[in-house]
Amino acid sequence: MRIAFLMAPEGVEQIELTEPWQAATEQGHEPVLVSTEPGQIQAFDHLDKADVFPVQLVVREAPAETFDGLVLPGGVANPDLLRTDEDAVSFVRAFFDLGRPVAAICHAPWTLVEADVVSGRTLTSWPSLRTDIRNAGGTWVDEQVRICGHGPNTLVTSRRPDDLKAFCEAFLIEFAKARKPA
């Protein structure tokens, strides 16, 4: 399974990138780092710079239909930058239009709000996004992991880095279900 990991050039919470990436790799999937700019992304450990990671594809040159699923890591700056980039927002929306599963953690649902794909869905996030999600027509819940939908239209969300184990388990299970023929 080919899974896009979408990030801005800086601001991603490193552990929210590396743990899901490792979990996907260990299951034999192909994670692909997609960003709004070529080169590398600068990850953060909270507010401190952490490691850099090479960009594999620029979002404007990465058709969503070439991926089986999408993971949106958080960090405060990362989704805030993504939601101001038209190509990134269109890329995210395309996964929903195609019926491909999406997983988002922490602040990442900001990008979902901007992509106008939250209405009618129940999701979780970092608590400060609660009002944004409700204003976008979604239902916010305070849960470790929330799965909304089933099959190809699944959205998996989690609140914070402490939820990563549950997040990784859930998105890998749901992504696998989405690939199975009905």
Which residues participate in catalysis according to the annotation? 106-107
Rounded Cα distance between 157 and 166, Å, is: 10
Report the run of H or E that residue 22 belongs to, with start and end: helix 14-26
- CA Rg value for the chain: 14
Res 181: pLDDT:
56
pLDDT surpasses 70 at 74: yes
pLDDT surpasses 60 at 30: yes
pLDDT surpasses 60 at 182: no
Name the nearest CA neighbour of 41 among 18, 24, 68, 65. Answer: 18
Name the nearest CA neighbour of 79 among 48, 52, 103, 104. Answer: 104
Q: Which of 36-45, 106-115, 146-155 has the lowest mean pLDDT?
A: 146-155
Residues 163-176: what's their mean pLDDT?
Answer: 97
Q: Where in the chain are the domains?
A: 2-179
- How many helices, marked H, and strands, marked E, lie in the chain? 6, 12
Name the nearest CA neighbour of 5 among 52, 74, 87. Answer: 74
Residues 14-21: what's their mean pLDDT?
Answer: 98
Q: 2-179: which CATH topology? A: Rossmann fold (3.40.50)
Q: Which of 1-10, 88-97, 149-158 has the lowest mean pLDDT?
A: 149-158
pTM of the model: 0.97
Residues 124-153: what's their mean pLDDT?
Answer: 94
Res 150: pLDDT:
74
